[in-house]
Chains A and B, each alone.
Chain A
Amino acid sequence: MPARLLTALALVRRVFRLATILCLVVMTLSITVQVVGRYLLSFPIADAVEISTFAQVWLVLLGAGIACRHDALFTVDLFGQRLPPVLHRLRGWLILACGSVFLGLLLWGSFSLLGLGLRQRAPTLQIPMIWIYAALPIGFLYFWIELAVRSLDLEPALSAEARNGETR
């Protein structure tokens, strides 16, 4: 993979990682505010439910690519590393093909959803739903990129420790 692409990918990964951390923090704070608001401040904070649920949508869709990169997608591996290199490569192509079909369809559908999102508003927050639906195409695209990189071994192998090190 060209060095320039690798640098761009590293930047994208950093942005996505920070965004998922932010989502998780927002979710935690919203729930805490909701509980504290109800019992200690004696007023309901209805927005908190919607904020935290929307943050979860963003968290999962942005985190999908990161999960793929960290081998955190649930997989039943009958063959492990025992496959000969040719079959290992073939399996990589099969995974990418499956991902392309599924994510391609979802990407296609999510563009239509964006159109709907321009006219739709969130029930409580009253923000245009396009801000929430936007997570779908962005997440699916990044997921597909990481899937391609992993399935086709497009970048130098990184140890799990090195990958974890990126999160610091």
Chain B
Amino acid sequence: MIIVVLAFLVLMALGVPIVLALGSPVALYILISGDVPIVVIAHRFYSGLNNFTLLAIPFFVLAGLLMEAGGLSRRIVDFASSLVGWIQGGLLMVAVVASTALAAMSGSGSADAAAVSAVLQPELRRRHYEIDFAAALIAASATLAQIIPPSLMLVIIAIQNNLSVGALFLGGVLPGLIACVLLMVVAFLHARTRPELAASLETFSLRRVAASFVRAIPAMGLGVVILGGIIGGFMTPTEAAGVAVVYATAIGFLVYRELRLAELPRLLTRAAYFSAGLLLLVAAANVLNWLVTTSGDLERLAGALGAVLQTKLTFLLGVNVVLMLLGMFIEGIALILLLGGLLIELGTALGIDPHQMALIIVFNCAVGLITPPFGATLFVTSMVAERPFVAVARRAFMPWLALTTALAAVSIFPELTLALPRLSGFLG
């Protein structure tokens, strides 16, 4: 199995799509070993897809696209702008607050990053903000979509490890809010070093706040429907995701009237192929996981790691360092599918709650979205800002530090993750 994992890493580094880099060594291993019926492999792949909870992924992707096309995202950015745009460095604050608000409605950070960037970029330039830093900050804020519910990564790790999606969703709320506050502090400190930004401050107007709030109510209702539905026990996360699609469509068509019927096929196709790309990975990983589990290699690896990392603190430190490094090179969802099960098993043996461990893993993967050389959301914001990726990446240190500080807090204090799920009855 070690050869399979090494082959996967080499093929992935050579630019082979991850699903094929993962699947081809597994296929060769099965063919050579000859002790697994081929039909089992096809069936494992099928059963990886035949999962009701996974439906949340295409739904949240589609809901994100509908929010952007239907004008919902723009209303939320406008409201955030009226709320915090008057503070020094206000537009940066707007970016953080709007991203956090969008994170509570969408499961995809890239879509949020694109939406916030596209709306704010012209204004950031007009007011002479440092574009590279702003792009890096927007990218960091957009990673909150993976921590604040609903989150695609949380859905995937919950399914992979038979954890409660609802508990994980609630567990992500406090860590996400802490990260949001820390990113706002970074924005404020940056603005203080640029006194010229003070000259372009908006004045605070309660009337404007009220007007933009009223305009954003239908858009923000989406968050209420999703989170209220899940926390209130009216809907499962999957059902809430489906209802989010219907809600975003209705608001885009009937209230804001920005969604066009002719646009729907394009949005549906985009959601379909993006979801297919993601879920193929889940199905291929299901084959690998089955193979690893049946081979007994997982237990051996767990035993070896457990012998080295014997206390909670060394384990968590080791996990965070390794995941942070791997997250620089490996796509977050692939990382979860490869290591999520093993790390949760090891953590549980050391007395770490699996939900806390899952949040720590997802948080690391989220931070990986802004660390070069493969920071996915950093790519999105640098593209929208029309700036070189390297220039934006150079300014990502402070936002990265803010996220890493929040991650450290989540690792040290389990209650940050577990308090809300316990209060809501999701955990005993």
Chain A residues within 8 Å of B, Cβ to Cβ:
17, 20-21, 23-25, 27-28, 31-32, 34-35, 39, 49, 52-54, 56-57, 59-64, 66-70, 72-79, 91, 94-95, 97-99, 101-102, 104-106, 108-110, 112-113, 116, 132-133, 136, 147, 164, 167-168
Contacts and interface: CB of A to CB of B under 8 A. Distances in A.
Contact of B27 (A63, A77, A105, A113): A105
Nearest to B270: A167
Contact of A167 (B12, B265, B274): B265
Contacts of A106: 23, 27, 41-42, 45
Interface string B126-137: 000000000000
Given A17-B269, A95-B16, A113-B43, A67 B55 contact: no
Given A78-B15, A113-B43, A168-B266, A53 B272 contact: no
- Of B23, B51, B274, B277, chain A has the most CB atoms within 10 Å of the CB of B277
B277 A167 contact: no
Given A105-B27, A109-B39, A112-B39, A99 B20 contact: yes
- The 7 A-B residue pairs whose C-beta atoms are closest, nearest first, are A63-B276, A109-B42, A31-B242, A102-B23, A73-B17, A112-B39, A98-B24
A97 B21 CA distance: 11
Given A64-B276, A98-B16, A167-B269, A28 B27 contact: no
Interface of B: 11-21, 23-24, 26-28, 30-31, 37-43, 45-46, 49-52, 54-55, 58-59, 62, 234-235, 238-239, 241-243, 245-246, 262, 265-266, 268-281, 283-284, 329-331, 333-334, 373-374
Contacts of B272: 20-21, 23-24, 59, 63, 66
- Of A60, A67, A133, chain B has the most CB atoms within 10 Å of the CB of A60
Contacts of B12: 76
Nearest to A90: B14
B43 A75 contact: no
B28 A101 contact: yes
Contacts of B40: 109
A76 B13 contact: yes
Contacts of A53: 50-52, 55
A113 B276 contact: no
B24 A101 contact: yes
A80 to B, nearest CB: 9
B331 A109 contact: no
B62 A24 contact: yes
B67 to A, nearest CB: 15
A48 to B, nearest CB: 10
A152 B31 CA distance: 26
Given A74-B331, A98-B21, 15 more contacts: A21-B272, A24-B62, A24-B268, A31-B239, A31-B243, A56-B50, A63-B276, A64-B276, A66-B269, A74-B17, A77-B15, A105-B31, A106-B23, A108-B38, A109-B39
